[in-house]
Amino acid sequence: MAMSDLTVGFIYVGAKDDFGYNQAHAEGAAAVKALSGVKVIEEENVPETVDVQNTMESMINFDGATLLFPTSFGYFNPHILEIAPKHEDIRFQHCGGLWSADQHPGNVGSYFGYIGMGQYLNGVAAGHASKSKKIGFVAAKPIPQVLLNINAFLLGARSVDPTITCQVIFTGEWSLAVKEAEATNALADQGCDVITCHVDGPKVVMETAAGRDAFVCGYHANQSPLAPEKYLTGAEWNWAEVYTSMIKTVQSGGAVDNFVRGGLQDGFIKMSPLGPAVSDTARNQFEATKAEIMKGGFKVISGPMKDNKGNMIASAGESFAEDDIALESMDYLVEGVLGSTS
């Protein structure tokens, strides 16, 4: 294949400058654009419905895209799985899906980063900043990656003080500005003094929480400009590096693995610089934990540990490291998280 032939399509579920999930991917796409021999096409605000199938079809048939990055979680099943078998020469790279060789087509790949470890580090900063010993989490949907983020946030905080609890509120959708603001207010009303989130655009949560005098930890991208005094740190994606290396592999005729994962040490994720409210003690523990995670294979869940309904999830001596595939089908909230998955 000639190098100039590579057309890459990026599909986003929301606006690509949302201070969040989609912006993180769009920054990755922008880095791809800067490479030579690549043409990038993008479409934003594509719902996780049959709409995304139409978008994929039109990128393939009209724009000649041979490599697609449909970035939203809900695009995978059934939409990509429906389209992929019809286009065996097209590569579909999906963010976050749990690809497995015996169930899914070979032209579909999945990539993701261990951003839960970033939420663990958020939790360390939060654990030091919280006076009320209650921290809060505004979550969109109870899917495994969100649940891991919530659990990791609490476990990070509990590594500072084991009495801390984390209240979670699910909004039910990836982007619902008014509900996210109401959820943030409800958390503040219950005394949560550090708040983070997993929604597509964290802007509303950050601004509302800071307005209620709570500290905030960012997610997806760096939101410190929104609340400079209250921003502790944040777990950010680093897709520019990931996408650039994937495109270079394809251009040089190589094959991208069907299942790509990476963490802090692989440059898949990064942390926002620590904010002015972070104390020296907090900074030391943050840096020490970060160094530990940078070694790879960080054991985020280590037994004995129960979920918040009292079921054993890890017995004494048992543990789940960041790259343990079992974490990607997580369906529980750990003890200390106040909330329920359904």
**Strands 6-11, 38-43: pairing kind:** parallel
Give the pairing type, strands 194-198 and 134-139.
Answer: parallel
147 near other proteins (CB under 8 A): no
Instruction: Give residue for tokens 């005729």.
Output: 253
Pick from 54, 77, 190, 249: which binds other proteins (CB under 8 A)?
Answer: 190
Site residues for other proteins, window 194-223 (CB under 8 A)? 201, 203-204, 207-208, 212-213
Type and span of the H or E element at 21: helix 21-33
Least distance between other proteins and beta carbon 148 (Å): 18
**Which of residues 59, 83, 187, 293 is near other proteins by CB under 8 A?**
187
Q: CB-wise, 172 or 304, nearer to other proteins?
A: 172
Q: Which of residues 19-38 bind other proteins (CB under 8 A)?
A: 19
Residue 80's alpha-carbon distances to 71, 103, 110, 114, in angstroms, are 11, 13, 11, 23
**Residue 179 within binding range of other proteins, rule CB under 8 A:** yes
Kindly state whether residue 45 participates in binding other proteins, applying the rule CB under 8 A.
Answer: yes
Name which of 18 and 307 has its Cβ closer to other proteins: 18
310 in contact with other proteins (CB under 8 A): no
Whether the CB-CB separation of 69 and 46 falls below 8 Å is answered with no
Question: C-beta of 188: minimal distance to other proteins in Å?
Answer: 7
| 178-187 core/surface letters (b: 16 or more CB in 10 A; e: else) | ebbbebbeeb
Question: Does residue 150 touch other proteins according to CB under 8 A?
Answer: no
Query: Within 254-273, which residues bind other proteins (CB under 8 A)?
Result: none
Interface pick for other proteins out of 171, 224, 233, 289 (rule CB under 8 A): 171
The answer to whether residue 338 forms part of the interface with other proteins (CB under 8 A) is: yes
| C-alpha closest to that of 256 among 245, 266, 240 | 245
Single residue of 149, 167, 224, 289 touching other proteins by CB under 8 A: 167
Query: Looking up tokens 């943050």, which residue turns up?
Result: 286
User: Residue 219's Cα: distance from chain center in Å?
Assistant: 7
